[in-house]
Chains A and B, each alone.
Chain A
Amino acid sequence: MSLSTILRNVCCKITMQPQIIIRPKCRMFQGFQAPISSSLKFHHRHESSNSFEASSSEGGNSETSQKPVMTSRTLHFPVKHTYPRLAWLESMDSLEGKKLGMLDLHPDVFAVYPRIDVLHQNIHWQKMYRHIDYNFEKSRAELRGGGRKPWPQKGLGKARHGSIRSPLWIRGAKAHGPRGPKSYFHMLPRSVRGLGLRTALSCKYAQNDLVVVDSFDIPSADPEFLAEMADVRFWGYSVLFVDDTDVMPDNIAVSVHGNEGFSLMPSYGLNVYSMLKHETLVLTVAALEKIERKLLEEMHSTEKEQKFVNTLRPEDFHTRPKKDERMYRKWSQPLYF
């Protein structure tokens, strides 16, 4: 089956189902979710378009009507000792896109000190909390045999031994061998997780790898189009798209699926590993608003961090899971609904 046929199939199937639901994969944000308020200020050139959402939902089909220019944004927590950072608001309705306005970014989220060690802590945690070490060695009691004294204690001129499974013996047991499965689950403190996200966002912003767009409405579902857009805009080989919901527009979902290295993610799935893995981070304004709000709330909250209760018991991971080939096939083939 050629690639184009697969794509056509995918497109047909997706058009029958209007929305693709992306399941959450990360537990980073499950603790705190706050409702988003529309705190954006827009200066309208046309009286007809009254809100940002209305004009952005038109997408690229009305090229003649000009979009409202966004000139400022209310920052929810006061900015002390520094100044808000600025970012362009771009559109994705064409290859080059248009600059729709300027956004204020809160410096406590997008201009914190680049603590590389905190990034490392977060990534180490993300790698380790799901890691289970299945290595196992039998002890001298569990090995077969070895109950009998191989030779008498005295009288033979040989060294004294009590078991052929002693660690000194070839084919004996290993002393202090691995006794898996062992879980490496632990939680980083919430503040460190929050600081990690803020640091990663700051690094992205400082290194010019952060892009803010009004929405993910792209005119074509062709993966080539998105790839070309990334090429024209110098986004690099890997791009992470983050929206505020897990219900994404069709075109972007299909395009991202067709491009290796591109990922689509809801804001509650945002994590340090993915941000550092991808070269460019593309946020929608709504996602930006939500992420910034939550990180600032976390930073200023006074409530005590609750201990995370790990419900995973040793019996849950007692046997090594078999390779689910169907699962791997699922990732390497187009989605069917």
Chain B
Amino acid sequence: MLNGDGNMSSKVTERALNLIKSMPRVALNNIKPLPHTAFKKKTDRRGDRKKKGRGDKGQGARGTWDPLGYEGRQNPLIDTSPRERYYAQYAVRRQYPPVSLLDLQRLIDLNRVNTSRPVDITSICNTGLFKFDISKNHFGVNLTDEGCDQFAAKINAEVQWTSELVIAAIEKNGGTITTRYYDPQSLAALYDPLAFFKKGHPIPKCKLPPQDALLYYSDPNNRGYLADPEKVLEAREKLAQKYGYKLPDLEGDPFKEMLLMRKDPLQIFFGLEPGWIVNLRDKSVLKPKDDDYLRYYHSAQ
């Protein structure tokens, strides 16, 4: 309870006093006034200038036109209307360009995506229809729910962002889906593996998601790759009950092995481990043997 004069102890006061307990001693060297209360020194001591910033002679100096947007002393519209900042911090936000279920179904129907293998970012980009650019802060695929009623394929999808409806649409058909984070370097390698292998660089280990994305990728409801697998099975059941479909049995499925294929959190290509170098000319794979290398490529730090 805050008393009228604001001096009595309140919850706010208690919290503030608790806060300064652990802070440096309030002393002469660390106090300051409230911002914007300092008296602004007048720089032009000659007072009002003759022309008042309106230039010399003519309509500008003599006319009575107001500045653009000036509404006669009332707050102008541009100040009063709230801003909706869709593009706030656009330059630093992670971008997930959309690929719809309809697009995916069309690719499958036209045989441009092989559903007997897991469908990941490489298989989508190999169609040549989608492009990801790490210089534009692209972080992978957002699989959207457009065409979810038409989607009829049984796939093992690995995407970077998705919604609940998409998960339901895929799992209803007996497929599986994982949301998986790739850092920009890994994403560039996945986007064009051939160009990456030609460079002769070792396959990078995938970094863990940044702090603000960690919750998303460890949530079983999003089928996050860091979530507990048992909780993911539970979430599958719950989602089936929510949308009212019968979850096809994975145990008796002939494609069970393919549907349950998952990459290690550090791994970015199926069958290839981080640290390996693919030699395209000799058609061989070079593997590091040094302990330090192995320790580096097999630890998350």
Q: Which residues of A contact B (CB under 8 A)?
A: 80-82, 107-108, 111-114, 116-117, 119-121, 123-124, 176, 195, 198, 200, 202-203, 206-209, 273, 276-277, 279, 299
Contacts and interface: CB of A to CB of B under 8 A. Distances in A.
B34 interface: yes
Interface string B5-16: 011111011001
A272 to B, nearest CB: 10
B9 A107 contact: yes
24 contacts: A81-B3, A112-B8, A112-B9, A114-B17, A114-B26, A116-B26, A119-B26, A121-B33, A124-B33, A198-B7, A200-B26, A202-B17, A203-B20, A203-B26, A206-B20, A207-B20, A207-B21, A207-B23, A209-B25, A276-B26, A276-B27, A277-B27, A279-B27, A299-B7
A200 B28 CA distance: 11
Contacts, number: 78
Contacts of B33: 117, 120-121, 124
Contacts of B3: 80-81
B1 interface: yes
Contact of A113 (B6, B26, B37): B6
Dominant secondary structure at the B interface: loop
Contacts of B12: 113
A279 B25 CA distance: 8
B52 interface: no
A299 B4 CA distance: 13
Interface in B51-81: none
B31 A123 contact: yes
B45 interface: yes
Contacts of A108: 7-9
Given A112-B9, A200-B26, 4 more contacts: A81-B3, A81-B8, A113-B10, A203-B20
Interface string B191-233: 0000000000000000000000000000000000000000000
B32 interface: yes
A207 B1 contact: no
A167 to B, nearest CB: 12
Contacts of B26: 114, 116, 119, 200, 203, 207, 276
